[in-house]
A and B are shown apart, each in its own frame.
Chain A
C-alpha cells in the first residue's frame, strides 16, 4: 500500500479535461457511424427499401372480367351471368361464431352437414375478411334470413356475378359447364402463361363450348392496387395523402353466337326423354350445328357452386353416363345408314349401275364359303335394284356390292364422308370412330391370326356392321354431304363472336373440307332411293302427313351378336343388349335445309328414331311440329322398359 496519495485538484481537472476531449472525439466518431448507417440505408440502398415499402403497403386486387354469353342463332341466351346471392360472414364482427352458425342452421339457411367445413373455412381466413359461408341462396332463404337479420351482426348477403344456365340441362352437352379451377387447370394455365389472368376468377369452362372457347369467353382480368396496413386490411388513405393507385380495367370476354336453333334443340330433346340417345342436326349448306342432343343430360348449374363428392359420384357412376356427350363421344356401328353412301361409292367407282339388279333370297354367301350372311328379312326381298335396295334396306344387295368393291375402296370412299376421322367440330373430346381396312386391322391387333382381314368382314362392312363405328356427329356430317351432293363442311357450333359493349360481330367463315366427286345422276339415284325410303320404304311412317319431302335412311346397329343358327329374339334379351336404332335424314329432299342423325341406344330399330327426326325437321323447316309429342318409355315394375312401339319394318 505504501505512500498515501494526496488529492491533486489541478491534476484531476486536467485529467478530466483530457478525458472529455477523448469522449468528444468518440462521440463525433459514433455520430458519424450513425449518420453513415443512415446514408447506407437511405441513399445507397434506397431503391431496395423503397420497393419493399411499396410492396408492404400496396396489394393488387384482381378485377374479374365479365364472361361472355352463349347465344343461339335467334339470339336466345343459353348461358349468362347472373347475380347470385351468398351469405358472407366477417369473423371480427361476429360476437360468437359457433353460436351464430348454429343459429343459421336453425333458421334453415345453412346445412347442418356443412357446419364443420364452414367453421374451418371461417377460421382459416383473416378476421376482417368477408368469407362466403353459403353460395346461391334461394329467394326463400333470403327472405328467411331477412326476417332474422337483427340476430346476426357481421353476417350479410352479398351479390356477385356467377355463371347461370337458364335452361338447366337443355343443350348442356353443347354448352358444357363451368366449375372450380382444378390443379390440372392451374398447370395448364401456367403453361399457357394465363394463370395471372385468372387471379380474380374462381370458375373455368370444363366441357363443351365453355371449355373450347374458354379464351374468348373469359376475357382479360383487370386489377386494382389497394392500400393495406400491416394486418392486411384495406385502408382508404395513408396519412394526409391518398396515394395514386393504379387500376387496370378488365376486358370482358366475347359473346359466342352458335348455330343452335333452340326450339329445334328442345324438340329433339323432348323425343329422347327417358331414353339414352343422341340427335345431331346440321345445316348442310355451311356445317352449322342446329341441334346437339345427348341424353340423359344433367343440370350444369350446381357445378358452379361446387358439387359435393356424393353428388358428383352419383353423376359419374350413373349407369346411363349422363356426363358422356354421346353426340361426339358415343361410338356405335352405323348399321344400314351407311348404305346410301356405299351405294354412291359403287356407282362412282363404276362397280355397279343404278339399273343393276340382284336377287335377294334372304341370305348371302361368298363364293366357296358356306357361311350365310342373313338379310334382316328372312324371306328376302326378291329382285331389287339400287333404289329398292336402299328403300327397303336390302342387306343382300349391299353384301354383294361390298364384296365387289373390296374393303380398300369401301373404306377409302367412306373416308370421304368423314367416317373414321375427327370431324374437327369446335368442341373438344371428339372420338374419331373406326373406319376399318386391312391396314387398320394389322396395327390394331397384337396376335398374328387377328391381324388378317377376312373377306367376310368386307361383307358385313357393306351393311355398316363389323368393326365400323361412328359417332352421331359423324353420321350427321355424312348425311349433310349426301344432302349437298358432295359438299363436306366442317361441322361447327359457333358461327360468330360478338364483342360485349360495342356489339361488333366477327363472323367465322364456314370451312369446306372437300367436295366428294360423283356424277349428278349418281347423286340423284341415291337421293331418290332415300326419298323412296320415306315413300313405301322403311321410313314411310315418318313421312306421313309431312308438308315437304324427306330423304332418309333407317339403321339398326347390333349390340349382341346372334349366333349362326340362332334367331334374334328381343324379348329374351336384356334391354341394354337390344339393337341401337338409327335414323338419318335431310329435308326438303330437293333443296335441303337441314340434315339430321338420330340415335336411340337399344332402340331396337330405326323407326322410333325416325319419329323423332320428323319432329326435328318439322320444327326447323316449318317452325312448328305436326306430329304428337313422343311419350317417354314406361318403366314397368319388373324393371324392363316398354318402348311405345311405332310399328316398323327394320
Chain B
C-alpha cells in the first residue's frame, strides 16, 4: 500500500531535482522536452527517409548534439552581452554578404557560401539571428511603439542584409531574414495602420520585384505553385509527387518504412526539404498532426518565455525567435503540401542538414538565456 506513494514522491523529488539542474544550466525544461521530442521524431523519420541509412541518422544525431552544446553554451551568455554583440555581428554579417556577392558576381553564378578553407558557411545564416538581434537592440533604446525615425533605421537594419541575400540570389533565405526582422518590429507594437500601409507598399514592391528583380527560375516557382500540372516532369514534379505522398498516406499512414512514394524515390529531397511529405505518407494525418502540435507547443512555450522576460531587447528578440520558428514550420509545411511556392526552407529540427539545425538550436539557446537571466537582471 505504501509502495505507490513512495514511488510517486520519489519521482516528484527526482523531477524537482532535474528542475534544479536545468535551472542551474539556465535551460527551460518544457521547451527542452518539446525540442527533444521533435528532434527524436525527426531522427525516426530520417531513418525511414534515408532508406534505413544508419550513418545518416548518426550524422544527424551528432549535429543535434553539437547544436545542443551550442544551445547550452548560448544559454549561459548574459543578455546584456548579446545586446552589445548585436551591432558588431550585424556589421560583420553585412561585410561578409558583400564579399559573397562580389565573389559570386565574379564567379558568375549563385554564391551563398564563404569558403574559409577548413569550413564553408553561409553569412546569410548568421543574418537570420543578427538582424532580429540588431533590430531589438535598436528598439530597446527607443520608446515603443517606434516613431518614424526609429522605424527608418530599423528598416535599414532589416532591408540591407535581406536585399544582399536576395541578390545572391537566394530568395528563400532573404525572405526569412526579412520576416525575422519584421517580426521584431511588429512585436514592438507597430501600429496596425502602419502595418497595413507597409503591406500595401510591400505589394507594390513585390510587383516591382516581379518585373525587374526576380530571376526566371524564381518566377517559375510561383507559376508552378499556381498550376503544378502545367509542368509535370519539371518544376511541378516535386509538388505533385509530394502531394501524392501526403494524400496516399491517409489518416493512419502507410506505416514507417512502407511509404511507396518515399521508399521508391518518387519523392524528391525526401530527407531534406520534403521530409514533411514522408511524415504525411508513412505516419498519416495522425503523425503529421502530432508533429504540428509539437511545433505549436514549442512555439507557445517560447512565446510564453518571451512574455516573461523583463526588458524590451529580450522580449523583442525572444518573440522574434519564437515566431520565426513557426514561420519556418508554416512555410515548409505549406510548401510541401502545396499551399505555398517551393522555396528552399527546411522543416525546422527535422530536415537533414547541419547549418539549419545548429542555427535553430543556437537561437533557442539565446531564447533560454534571455528568459533564465531575468531574475539576475531584476536584482
Contact = CB atoms under 8 A, between A and B. Distances in A.
Interface stretch (A28-36, A392-400, A507-515): A28-36
A43 B251 contact: yes
B155 interface: no
A5 B250 contact: no
Contact of A230 (B259, B266, B284, B330): B266
Interface of A: 1, 5-9, 11-13, 15-20, 23-24, 27-28, 30-31, 33-35, 37-39, 41-43, 45-46, 48-50, 52-54, 56-57, 227-231, 235, 238-241, 243
A240 B187 CA distance: 49
Contacts of B250: 42-43, 46, 50
A17 B338 CA distance: 33
Given A20-B306, A23-B303, A38-B289, A49 B246 contact: yes
B189 to A, nearest CB: 4
Contacts of A1: 149
Contacts of A23: 187, 303, 319, 323
B280 interface: yes
B302 to A, nearest CB: 10
Nearest to A14: B189
B50 to A, nearest CB: 12
Q: Which of B260, B300, B307, B337 has the most CB of A within 10 A?
A: B260
Interface string B317-345: 00100010010001001100111000000
Contacts of B330: 30, 34
B76 interface: no
B350 to A, nearest CB: 14
A27 B300 contact: yes
Interface string B270-306: 0000000000100011001100110110011001001
B9 to A, nearest CB: 35
Given A17-B307, A19-B186, A31-B296, A46 B247 contact: yes
B337 A41 contact: yes
Given A15-B189, A53-B260, 9 more contacts: A7-B142, A12-B189, A16-B307, A16-B315, A28-B296, A35-B288, A35-B289, A227-B264, A241-B255
Contacts of B61: none
Contacts of B264: 56-57, 227-230, 235, 238
Contacts, number: 158
B243 A49 contact: yes
Name B's interface SS. Answer: helix
Chain A, interface SS category: helix
21 contacts: A16-B307, A16-B315, A20-B187, A24-B303, A31-B292, A35-B285, A35-B288, A37-B339, A38-B288, A41-B247, A41-B338, A42-B247, A42-B250, A42-B285, A46-B247, A50-B248, A53-B245, A235-B264, A238-B260, A240-B258, A241-B255
Contacts of B288: 35, 38, 42
A24 B255 CA distance: 33
A270 B324 CA distance: 94
B244 A56 contact: yes
Nearest to B281: A53
B249 interface: yes
B292 A56 contact: no
B266 A12 contact: no
Contact-residue size bin, chain B (C-beta under 8 Å from the other chain): 35 or more
Residue picked from A1, A27, A43, A230, most chain B C-beta under 10 Å: A27
Contacts of A5: 143, 147
A37 B277 CA distance: 12
B337 A34 contact: yes
Given A42-B285, A231-B265, A239 B303 contact: no
Nearest to B247: A49
A24 to B, nearest CB: 6
Contact of A238 (B186, B246, B258, B306): B258
B303 to A, nearest CB: 5
A19 B187 contact: yes
A236 to B, nearest CB: 11
B255, B261, B293, B299 pick with most chain A CB within 10 angstroms: B261
Nearest to B330: A30
Q: What 9 A-B pairs come out closest when comparing CB atoms?
A: A49-B247, A53-B248, A239-B257, A5-B143, A229-B264, A230-B265, A15-B189, A57-B260, A41-B247
B247 A50 contact: yes
B287 to A, nearest CB: 10
A41 B299 CA distance: 25
Nearest to A30: B330
Interface in B216-251: 241, 243-251
B359 interface: no
A601 B293 CA distance: 93
B143 A35 contact: no
A23 B315 CA distance: 14
Contact of B285 (A13, A15, A38): A38
B67 to A, nearest CB: 23
Q: Which among A8, A38, A49, A53 has the greatest number of chain B C-beta atoms within 10 A?
A: A38
Contacts of A45: 247
Contacts of A37: 334, 337-339
B175 interface: no
A177 B299 CA distance: 76
A53 B246 contact: no
B312 to A, nearest CB: 6
Contacts of A38: 246, 280, 285, 288-289, 337
Nearest to A45: B247
Contact of B189 (A6, A19, A31): A19
Contacts of B206: none
Contacts of B333: 34
A54 B266 CA distance: 12
Contacts of B251: 42-43, 46
Given A20-B306, A28-B296, A34-B337, A42 B284 contact: yes
A199 to B, nearest CB: 23
Given A39-B285, A41-B243, A42-B250, A19 B319 contact: yes
B187 A16 contact: yes
A214 B102 CA distance: 73
Contacts of B261: 53, 56-57
B266 A229 contact: yes
Contacts of B186: 19
Contacts of A18: 189
B209 interface: no
Interface in B148-192: 149, 186-189
Contacts of A56: 241, 244, 260-261, 264, 266
A226 to B, nearest CB: 12
B95 interface: no
B300 to A, nearest CB: 7
B257 A52 contact: no
A19 B334 CA distance: 24
Contacts of A52: 244, 247-248
A334 B289 CA distance: 90
A585 B132 CA distance: 111
A37 B260 CA distance: 21
B258 A241 contact: yes
Contacts of B292: 31, 34-35
Contacts of B200: none
B280 A41 contact: yes
Contact of A49 (B244, B257, B285): B244
B62 interface: no
A7 B249 CA distance: 54
B85 interface: no
B122 interface: no
Contacts of B334: 33-34, 37
B353 interface: no
A39 to B, nearest CB: 7
A39 B280 CA distance: 11
A34 B280 CA distance: 12
Nearest to B183: A23
Contacts of A57: 260-261, 264, 266
A42 B280 contact: yes
